[in-house]
Amino acid sequence: MTMKIITDSGADAFVSAMDGVAHTSVPLTIRAGALSWLDNGEIDLPKFVDALKKTKERSSTACPSVQDWMDAFVGGDEIFVLTITSALSGTYNSAVQAAKIYQESHPQVKIHVFDTRSAGPQIRLLAEEIAQLINKGFKFEQIVETMKYKMRQTDLLFILENLDNLANNGRINPAMAKIAHALKLNIYGTASDEGKLEMLGKTRGSKKIFAKMVKLMEESGYEGGKVLIDYVGTPDKAEKMQNAILAAYPDAEISITECGGLCSYYAEAGGLLIGYEKK
Ligand code: X90
């Protein structure tokens, strides 16, 4: 019996196993004119960011095809799929369709597709949770049930210095896009319940932002649990975030990861995504 966890590349999880459970990452694609990047964990990120900055072509992203998902299912008997928010991407729909078609020819294979209504580190927290439940001996259906409330016990905060790619691709509401363009401000916010970017505030990029984030985490139920921080280009900023959390919760388990292509494209240089467990 092979159990598998499959995420799309919006999870920033380019590893072949999580806690000993097999993991596959299904790539999205980023395009700019004739250039295209498959987000498979092997993108040369500084080059990629530079090429995007230099191009005059319109850039965009594309979700995995139904076939891409079906290829990833091969060999699995019980498969857990976690996708980036369906409110902003077709990835979830593509995975659901793939599962339906795949199960017609593999009726004994179990597949559950979770719409995480989030991105990056929160997806990874949920995937790691599934791996732990598998290791504890939970059955497929029990895991699906348990994850329903685990999804409410994780959250996401972001700090973004630039929202151009989100705005130009219609992924944020026009009012937020306008604010982002008009002012040279850092925007911070969260993933809303429906899985969209929800702006909570804006700041002139001061040191205070990190303490502010810890306060927001606490207000939403953070009590010193696991935190995953994903950054675009500025590991020092991720470390400052980590230190601010540790100042309040010295025992917090925090790890820092570089964003893959998809999250680097949308969160942009200086962007920070913070996924955390809460009560
Ligand atoms: O082409 C596609 O189907 C992909 C579209 C993905 C768009 C959203 C990516 C967001 C990446 C940005 C900041 C945090 C957002 C939280 C959202 C719930 C990360």
Distance 165 CA to ligand 1 centre (A): 10
Domain stops at, among 94, 118, 152: 152
Strand partners, 3: 78
* Nearest residue (CA) to ligand 1, atom 9: 266
Mutate to test the pocket of ligand 1, among 61, 91, 213 (most ligand atoms within 8 A of CB): 61
Predicted pLDDT at 77: 98
Distance of alpha carbon 233 from alpha carbon 49, whole angstroms? 9
Q: Are residues 33 and 138 in the same domain?
A: yes
pTM of the model as a whole:
0.97
Q: Are residues 97 and 226 in the same domain?
A: no
Q: Please classify residue 103 by burial: count the beta carbons closer than 10 Å to its beta carbon, then call 0-12 exposed, 13-18 middle and 19+ buried.
A: middle
* Nearest residue (CA) to ligand 1, atom 13: 267
Distance 89 CA to ligand 1 centre (A): 7
Predicted pLDDT at 204: 84
Distance of alpha carbon 255 from alpha carbon 273, whole angstroms? 12
Q: Are residues 137 and 165 in the same domain?
A: no
Q: Are residues 146 and 17 in the same domain?
A: yes
Distance of alpha carbon 141 from alpha carbon 216, whole angstroms? 34
The answer to whether residues 94 and 65 touch, using CB atoms and an 8 Å cutoff, is yes
Q: Are residues 114 and 214 in the same domain?
A: no
Q: Are residues 161 and 200 in the same domain?
A: yes
Q: Are residues 207 and 135 in the same domain?
A: no
* Count of the separate structural domains present in the chain: 2
Q: Are residues 166 and 195 in the same domain?
A: yes
Q: What is the per-residue pLDDT across 43-74, written as a single tens digit (0 to 9) for each? A: 999 999 999 989 999 999 999 999 999 999 99
Distance 196 CA to ligand 1 centre (A): 8
Q: Please classify residue 28 by burial: count the beta carbons closer than 10 Å to its beta carbon, then call 0-12 exposed, 13-18 middle and 19+ buried.
A: buried
Distance 139 CA to ligand 1 centre (A): 31
Q: Are residues 198 and 81 in the same domain?
A: no
With a threshold of 0.95, tell me whether the complex ipTM lies above it: yes
Question: What is the residue range of 186's domain?
Answer: 153-277
